[in-house]
Amino acid sequence: MNWNNITYYIGISLIMVATLMGVSALIACLTPADSSRVALLYSAFVTGTAGFFPLIFVQRGPKRLSFREGNCIVVGAWLAACTFGMLPFLLYGGEFSLINSLFESISGFTTTGASILNDVEALPRGLQFWRISTAWVGGIGIVTLFSMIMAGSTNKATLSGAEISSLAREPFEGERKYSFAKRMMITYVSLTVISFFSLRLTGLAWFDAATNAMSACSTCGFCIRNESIAFYDNPAAEVVLTITMIAAGLNFGILFLSTIKGQFSYFRRSATVRVFLILLAAAIVMVCSNLMLSGHTTSFWKALRDASFQIASIATTTGFATRDTTLWPALSMTILIICSLICGCSGSTSGGIKIDRAILAAKGIHRKVRESISPNVVRAVKVDGRIQTDAQVDDAFCYIVCYMLLVVIFASINIAAGLDFTTGLTASIACIGNVGPGFGDVGSMSNYSDFPALLKISSVIEMLIGRLEIFPMLYLFGSFRSKF
């Protein structure tokens, strides 16, 4: 591997992070008595200097990147961004110790939305915007974002391909590869802007509307209010956010082709989107019915409002809250846990296993059963009219097995460290799926502040593994292992 190339591209990612710190510092400077100005300005300077150093003093090797180099750049860029991203929190102080700063930074960049803050509203506006900015950048992908400005279509494809799974690219088959990151970004920015103006129309202040739109589109769930979206008690804003979260949980390729290019047939023909929306609707109906039949509420509209928002929030791994779901009936909580495992579509900003892999695995099982009944009949697995290879089906099974194994491993660590079973298990599911809230002590109205340092470290590792979809981390480990 050419380490000059790797450090060069990681430097570019740090410059991008420093730029966002500068924007946050500008907001702090424009806000009277904002105490985060110095922390943000100093952090931007340090991060920018670290980013420019390899660009100035490191001589790049061959322009064409190998897969291993692309994978190292992706993992290295994420680690560097998360590490330098904690500087504004650490320099500001308050609730931000070293471990807490790292936790908040990684939780933001991975769009997990888990927090160690007990009083979010106490943060100055500049730091609040930086906290949301980490989520917004992490939503589209650090490397996908900076790869748009890089020369060379081959390198763009290599970098974005190492960060985003091949399932996300299927709607772009037949399209020019170099425009993949650009099309993703156009969809992402458009959705954010539409959400912002829609929230303004519901009566939210501009800063609340901007930060909630950024958080919803990134499916992070960071909010500038201690009570999350429940603070506003605004049904119209909840409808806007519900629609935004569901849109952000769909494949951005299909969104781009269906809305921006006006080719609605893509949206209509997509079995993945259809299954995702049907499952969402079924979950909402079951939770709404359970809330009413259990006596949790007697109002149909209140039950529908709460069920719709919380299902959309958890199924897209956003983590916004309007109600304390730890008080809900057992069936409703079970449905939410299932939603936090499967989650949205590939090519979206949501985490989890992804509905695409679940469909592939289900069709693979169906084919296996049919072939057992009729061994002489060859059956193909099709998704959205495309024949899936055996390797693609095997990849889906492999990913799901690895995913569930990691859930068990980290849940065991949590429980061994003293957490109760519900908290330990759901915290593991929430971290690897980048969901944020779980149940027990990490419910929708709680946070991770009481976790011991060891569990905060294991949780951030799990967040990174989940956001990078497991295999890039394994590839990196394998690359280093092969050297010895």
- Measured N-to-C along each axis, helices 300-315 and 271-293 cross at an angle, to the nearest 10 degrees, of 140
As a whole number of angstroms, the distance between CA 100 and CA 117 comes to: 9
How confident is the model over 272-294, as a mean pLDDT?
A: 93
DSSP class of residue 382? E
Percent of the chain with pLDDT over 90: 55
How confident is the model over 266-270, as a mean pLDDT?
A: 74
Identify whether residues 149 and 211 lie together within a single domain.
no
How confident is the model over 101-127, as a mean pLDDT?
A: 93
As a whole number of angstroms, the distance between CA 100 and CA 103 comes to: 5
Q: What is the pLDDT of residue 1?
A: 64
pTM (predicted TM-score): 0.90
158 pLDDT above the threshold of 60: no
CB 356 within 8 A of CB 383: yes
Identify whether residues 108 and 135 lie together within a single domain.
yes
> Is residue 416 situated within a structural domain?
no
> Is residue 445 situated within a structural domain?
no
Q: How many domains does the chain have?
A: 2
User: Considering 384, 400, 416, which residue would you say is the last residue of a domain?
Assistant: 400
Identify whether residues 111 and 194 lie together within a single domain.
no
Structure confidence by residue, pLDDT tens digits, 313-327: 999 999 999 999 999
Among 135-149, 176-190, 352-366, top mean pLDDT goes to: 352-366
Identify whether residues 118 and 210 lie together within a single domain.
no
User: Considering 134, 163, 192, which residue would you say is the last residue of a domain?
Assistant: 163
Full residue range of the structural domain in which residue 148 is found: 1-163
Of 253-257, 260-264, 421-425, 463-467, the poorest mean pLDDT is in: 260-264
> Is residue 372 situated within a structural domain?
yes
Q: What is the pLDDT of residue 23?
A: 94
Of 18-27, 91-100, 299-308, 361-370, the poorest mean pLDDT is in: 361-370
- Measured N-to-C along each axis, helices 98-109 and 125-140 cross at an angle, to the nearest 10 degrees, of 50
Quick one: which of 207, 163, 161, 250 has its CA closest to 27? 207
User: Considering 371, 400, 429, which residue would you say is the last residue of a domain?
Assistant: 400
CB 448 within 8 A of CB 114: yes
> Is residue 473 situated within a structural domain?
no
Measured CA to CA in angstroms, residue 392 lies from 100, 167, 377, 382, 397 at distances of 39, 9, 20, 11, 9
Identify whether residues 45 and 181 lie together within a single domain.
no
Of 45-49, 74-78, 336-340, the poorest mean pLDDT is in: 74-78
Identify whether residues 86 and 25 lie together within a single domain.
yes
> Is residue 193 situated within a structural domain?
yes
Of 49-53, 170-174, 331-335, 336-340, the poorest mean pLDDT is in: 170-174
Mean pLDDT rounded to a whole number for the chain = 85
Identify whether residues 91 and 234 lie together within a single domain.
no
The pairing of strands 381-383 and 386-388 is antiparallel
- Under the banding of pLDDT at 50, 70 and 90, the label for residue 177 is very low
Quick one: which of 213, 189, 190 has its CA closest to 200? 213
Identify whether residues 142 and 220 lie together within a single domain.
no
Q: What is the pLDDT of residue 153?
A: 45
Identify whether residues 352 and 287 lie together within a single domain.
yes
Looking at per-residue pLDDT, the higher value among 2 and 417 belongs to: 417
Identify whether residues 264 and 369 lie together within a single domain.
yes
As a whole number of angstroms, the distance between CA 149 and CA 402 comes to: 34
As a whole number of angstroms, the distance between CA 481 and CA 484 comes to: 6
Identify whether residues 127 and 197 lie together within a single domain.
no
Identify whether residues 109 and 71 lie together within a single domain.
yes
Q: What is the pLDDT of residue 29?
A: 93
Percent of the chain with pLDDT over 70: 86
Q: What is the pLDDT of residue 168?
A: 52
> Is residue 439 situated within a structural domain?
no
Q: What is the pLDDT of residue 62?
A: 55
